Every structure is written in structure tokens, then in C-alpha cells.
Structure 1
Amino acid sequence: MSFVSLGDGSTRPTFFELVAAERLLPSLKSAVLYSLRVFVQQRPSLYALLRRGDEAFALVNLLLDRSSLYNSSATFAETLYGLRRVQQDTPGQSSSKPADLSRASQRRTLILQVALPYLFCKCNALFSHHRPQIEAPLGLTARRSLPADTPPPQGGSSSRAAASLAWLRRQALRLFLFGYPWLHAAWEGLRFGFQLLYLLDSSAFYSPELWLLGQSVVRVSGTELMEGERRKGQARQKQLQRTPSKPALLQLLQRGWLRATWAVADHTRNALILSVFGFKLLEWWYNSAEGRIAGQQKKPPPPPPNPPLPVVDGIDLPSDPGICGLCQRPRTNPAMLSISGYLFCYPCLHAHLVEHSHCPVTHISATQDDVWRLYKGE
């Protein structure tokens, strides 16, 4: 099962084919994590597996890409779109007969394809975890909220070593939180530049990873597909025809194991891509169903609660709602006390709270944080 287009004789894949192949793994990761969540709900004792979801998907990605690279010189996502990788020694357009990937190139590709997304995922998680702790409520700089940049104290050797290690960790965290957004922006800008050059037919490299590896992606022809299937069948037949000096029962079990392994390898790719489509279908179905249910069961908002009652010792409220109860004059620069809902002039209310620290009408304790300034719209 692959999304192969054999109508065009060009070996250069289109920009949209490469984008679709690039976005397949994130969709597959969502499907894998969703399956893990459903499985953990039935087996709560395996919650640690969900906490290691990134590592689990990296392992799945490693197995899929390893099999695809060694069999067809392409990643798992690229094989689904009828693409493969070739070695490009010099920048520019690929030659008429590009060189296939060597075993060393396949290993380098596998390491980069698995390690780079995993590292970026972990860096994003670390940055998202520490960002609320370093950002001030008003959007001030991160340095103001970070732990004090103090050198390790002098003391015993063990305490000094522990303090030095903690100080180094703070410095490393400070450096990471400062530099990671710039690094991420630079990497995304570099990727955009490579994709733009590829879209304009000015480069054979779709991404920086391909440029680092010296590889380009080409479209697989129908002849190459049939030749690959023929070679795979011949290799399997040779493996089955081997007759080692083993009992007949062991040979039968070995052949059965080989056939079962090949069947799993042949159908795992189809099962995974179908799981992606199934996940997207379920996601759309539940989102639309939740929207319909929310629209049908929408109820009017509850009435507001009754305001607190005035106390005997509180000030008398004027009959005119436009008069301030503190200065007994027309209210200017209005402000509301949120704990009671009464309006006063802002200077009058501020002075009263500084002196008494309670609402003038209900005597409920209040501070300056409970004052809401009101502005008239134009």
C-alpha cells in the first residue's frame, strides 16, 4: 500500500509529496499516543508506558525506518509515497544514475531521522515546563524570575560539591531557556529556506537533514518497484531453501517463523497507515459529536448572585446611582469594588481602603487588588 503516482515520468518528487511524507509521522505519533492512552485506561498499572510515550514512539520510528531503509533506501513515510533516497555527492540536480545508499549512509540516516525529532520533542517539553516559572505575570523578562545567580557557598567538600552542581544546573537551565527559542527559530528559518529553494527548483535538497547527509529524494518508477519486489522474493526463497543440518521439525518451525515474520513485515506498514486514518476519523467524529451535543444541551447562564447586604455601620447609599456614596458628589473616574459590586470614585475608594481596608457599604475586607477601574466606551 503506497500513495504512488506513476503518471509523471520525472524522478523529482513534487513539493507536496515531500510535505505529505514529512507530516505523516506526527499524525502517526498522535495515533500511537492515543492508543497508549486507551490501553492505559484498561491497565492503570502500565501508566509508566504513557509517561514514556516519546521513547515508545521513537522505538517504533526506529524499527519502521530501519526496515524501510535497509529494504528500499527510504524512510517509512517516504516508502508510502513511492519515494527513495539516493546519494548526491555534489550540490545541484541529481544525475541520471544516482548512487544508492550504502550501509553507512543508511545508518547515518537512521540515527538522524530518529534522534533529531526526539531531541526537539524533549527540548520543547523542557522549555514548556519551565517557561511559566520564569515568566512574570506582566510579561517581564525571564531573568527577573529565575533563581538568584549566586556563586556556590563555601563549606564542606560534599556540601560545596552539591551546591556547585545545583549552581551549574541553574546556569545551564538559564542558558537553555535563553538560547532555545533563538535556536528553534533559526532551525525553522533554515528549513523554510531549503523548502523555498526546492520549490523554486533551485536546489535538490528539500531539508537541512538531506543536505547534511548529502542525499536527495527521488520518485520510484514502476520498473524499480517490480524489480524490488522480485529481488525480495528471490532473497526470501533462498532463505527458505537453506537446509541446515537440523531435524525436520526444527526446519519446519524455522520456516513457519520466517513466513510469519515476513507477513508481519509486509502488513505492519498498511496497518499503521490505516490506524492514522482511523485516528483522524475518530478525532473528527468525536469533535463534531461534541459540538452537536454542546449545541443541543446549551442552557442559559445562571442568574447573578444577590449582592451583599449593607451593614448598619456602613455608609448610606444615595438615591441617585450617579452619586458617589463617599464624597456625595457626581461620580468621576469610576471604580468598582469586586467583592461587593458597588461603584465609587476611584480616589475616594482608594483613600478609604488605605485607611479602613474594607468595603464602605458591607464592611467586607478588601484590598487594592479588589478595585476594578471602569472606562466608558466611545
Structure 2
Amino acid sequence: MGARCSRVLAESNPARYGFLWRWFDEIYALLDLLLQRHYLSRTSASFSENFYSLKRIPLDGGSGLWRLASHGLPRTQHWRSLLVIIAVPYVKVKLDRLFARLREEDDYAIHLPESSWKRLYKAFLAAYPFVNMGWEGWFLIYRLLYIFGRTQSHSPLLRAAGVRLGNLTPADLQGIEQSSSSVSVPSSSESVVGKLTSFLGKAVGGVAMSLSTGVSVGVFFLQFLEWWYSSENQETIKSLSSLPTPPPPVHFDRLTDKTLPRLKTMCPLCNKIRTNDTALATSGYVFCYRCAYSYVKRHQRCPVTGYPSELQHLVKLYSPEA
């Protein structure tokens, strides 16, 4: 949704909003960092995990069993989680786009003599599909091991962060609610930096809570738009809402084969060989210019089909011999 909005703004005003599309990945990563850091600190879970009432529990020992989600993760697991949530997907997206761009350039580019950069370029194009397949296979293996109870984490990224997922308990929910409703008043002895940090934290928290309530509605609305504008749905809507085909003109019903000349080079009005061929854009029939001009000016319709026509609908035809 954000990418589409950025693209629409960039296309509508490239000079002002073009940077939103060029730096979309970086802007998105920065905003996602603020959002995920807030949720990891307040709920011990990412935004999506908290949406499904999940929390992250450290793997080292049993400290995570008694630690409330509102207390946040330990420092090590907190920064590891941020790394795998923000940095790893960002690098993966950049590599995928680089591979797609280089492969397209390789298909259409003129191949220059071999160089060290060219060999590295070809090695990347040859190796990346296998690296990507190994990456996806790594995730598949972890999911299979998790299904059979051989590992506590269903994803290698969770394992790298040193956490596993668990359900929020009633005590966790109560602690998160109390943490969200409590407002700390800074004392007079606090430094300006401390007050500023507290203010920024509250501001980020307010924005994050607004996002948590608005994103669910936004996701539903986005899914609705994707369904509404899907090709299958558009065909259904078109079939239900399209108007019936209008009947042919009355003048065309009275048309017989004798009305039109048998030779294609003859004018339907004067029944002579056409001179200064002119087509009528509303119907496609070709006449002499003088005949078509006089008839359309007098009757404002096509001589053959009866379609309403004007003089600006006359189109001069130039034969290849001319």
C-alpha cells in the first residue's frame, strides 16, 4: 500500500515527490525500525506478532517464562530481533532487485571483453539463484523440524535472534494495558535530554498505538481494493453492469445488397468510380469527397448506415500511387 502511494505521488509530481519512490526502501525501513522497536520494548513482540497475541521468549534458560511481555526483551535479544526484522529483509529485497536488473541488462547488453568486474558480475548471476534456493530451503527445513517438535523456533531468523514465540498470558495482557495507560511525569531534576527522550518515546508510542488500530482497518480496505480491481471481479462487474447492445439503425435494416455498388472502387452515392477518396470516420465507408461532403452537410448522417455524422468526420484517403 505504501509503495503504491509513493509511486502515485512520484508519477504525479516527480520533481517534488520523486525521492519517495527512489528512497522508498530506506524510508520504509526507518519507519519500520521505529515501529518494531516500540513494540519489542513494550510487548516483547514485533507488530505483526503482537497483532496475533504472541510474544518473544528468550531461549537462554527459563528467564523468559516469568518475564512479563510489558518488560521487553533482554538487551541482546532485543537488538538481534531488530536486526533480523529490519536489516535481513531489507538486504534480501535489495539483492533480489539487483539480480533482476543485472539479469535483464545481461540479456540485452552488448558483451564486452572479459574483465575482473565482468567475471564477478557473471558469478553473481550464476550463484544467486542457488543461494536464494538454499535460503528458502533453510526456512522449509526449520518449519518441518518445528512441525515434528525437533526445534523450538519455526524460523531460522528467530533462532538467530535467540528467541521463540509463545502466547500472551492474562498477566502479559494486563501488564501491556497498564503500561499503555500509565503516563510518567518527569521530575524537575531530569535533564533536558531526558525530558526530550521521554517526549519522543510517548510520541512514538502514540503513533504506534494509532497504527495498531488503523492498520487492521487499512489491511482490510487494501484487500477489498485488490479484490475489487482484480481482473476476475472486473469481468463479473462488467457483465452485470454493462448496458445491452443497442439495436442496429433503422436505416441499416432497410439496407439491401442493391444499395451498395458491387465494385469496391465505386462510390455508394453516385455509383461511379470514386474520385478524391474520402472515408466517413463514424461508419468507415468510403465515398467521393464531393458526394460525402454534400450529403453529410445536408443530412448530418452517414449515407449507408445512418449514423449521426458531421463534416469533421470526413477523412481524406491517400492511395499509395498518389
Q: Fold-level match, TM-score > 0.5?
A: yes
For the pair shown, the structure with the greater C-alpha radius of gyration is 2
The aligned residue for residue 78 of structure 2 is 106
* SS of match in other structure, 1:205: coil
The aligned residue for residue 193 of structure 1 is 141
Letter in 2 for 1:32: G
Q: Is the 8 A contact 1:87 1:98 kept in 2?
A: no
Is 1:267–2:210 an aligned residue pair?
yes
TM-score scaled by length of structure 2: 0.62
The aligned residue for residue 291 of structure 1 is 235
Is 1:242–2:187 an aligned residue pair?
yes
Of residues 80, 86, 90, the one that matches 2:57 is 86
Question: 2-side partners of 1:169 and 1:73: how far apart?
Answer: 45
Q: Is the 8 A contact 2:139 2:156 kept in 1?
A: yes
Is 1:59–2:30 an aligned residue pair?
yes
Paired-residue identity, %: 26
Question: 1-side partners of 2:218 and 2:40: how far apart?
Answer: 22
Quote how far apart the aligned CAs of 1:48 are: 2.4
Quote how far apart the aligned CAs of 1:189 are: 0.5
Of residues 42, 46, 66, the one that matches 1:71 is 42
Letter in 1 for 2:103: R
Of residues 169, 172, 176, the one that matches 1:224 is 172
Q: Is the 8 A contact 1:147 1:170 kept in 2?
A: no
Quote how far apart the aligned CAs of 1:177 are: 0.7
Q: Is the 8 A contact 1:86 1:217 kept in 2?
A: yes
Cα gap change, 1:200 to 1:107, in 2 (>3 Å): same
Is 1:147–2:111 an aligned residue pair?
yes
Cα gap change, 1:96 to 1:132, in 2 (>3 Å): closer
* SS of match in other structure, 2:65: coil
* SS of match in other structure, 1:217: strand
The aligned residue for residue 365 of structure 1 is none
Unaligned runs of 5+ in 1: 1-30, 137-144, 151-166, 300-378
* SS of match in other structure, 1:97: helix
Quote how far apart the aligned CAs of 1:50 are: 1.3
Q: How many residues align?
A: 234
Q: Is the 8 A contact 2:9 2:18 kept in 1?
A: no
Quote how far apart the aligned CAs of 1:111 are: 1.6
Question: 2-side partners of 1:265 and 1:213: how far apart?
Answer: 23
Is 1:49–2:17 an aligned residue pair?
no
What RMSD over aligned residues (CA atoms) do the two structures have, in Å? 3.5
TM-score scaled by length of structure 1: 0.54
Question: 2-side partners of 1:172 and 1:33: how far apart?
Answer: 32
Q: Is the 8 A contact 1:197 1:203 kept in 2?
A: yes
Is 1:36–2:6 an aligned residue pair?
yes
* SS of match in other structure, 1:122: helix
Question: 2-side partners of 1:169 and 1:241: how far apart?
Answer: 57
Letter in 1 for 2:65: K
Once the two structures are superposed, the pairs formed by residues 10-29 of structure 1 within 5 Å of their partners are none
Cα gap change, 1:53 to 1:231, in 2 (>3 Å): closer
Quote how far apart the aligned CAs of 1:241 are: 5.6
Question: 2-side partners of 1:191 and 1:85: how far apart?
Answer: 19
The aligned residue for residue 297 of structure 2 is none
Question: 1-side partners of 2:105 and 2:149: how far apart?
Answer: 45
* SS of match in other structure, 2:55: strand
Cα gap change, 1:62 to 1:256, in 2 (>3 Å): closer
* SS of match in other structure, 2:185: helix
More contact order relative to length (CA 8 Å, sep ≥ 6) = 1
Cα gap change, 1:260 to 1:179, in 2 (>3 Å): closer
Of residues 213, 220, 225, the one that matches 1:277 is 220
The aligned residue for residue 132 of structure 1 is 104
Letter in 1 for 2:167: R
* SS of match in other structure, 1:204: coil
What do the CA deviations read for 1:225-281 (whole angstroms, capped 9, x no partner)? 1022224444x2xx22634599xxxx9xx9999876653332122222322221111
Question: 2-side partners of 1:53 and 1:191: how far apart?
Answer: 27
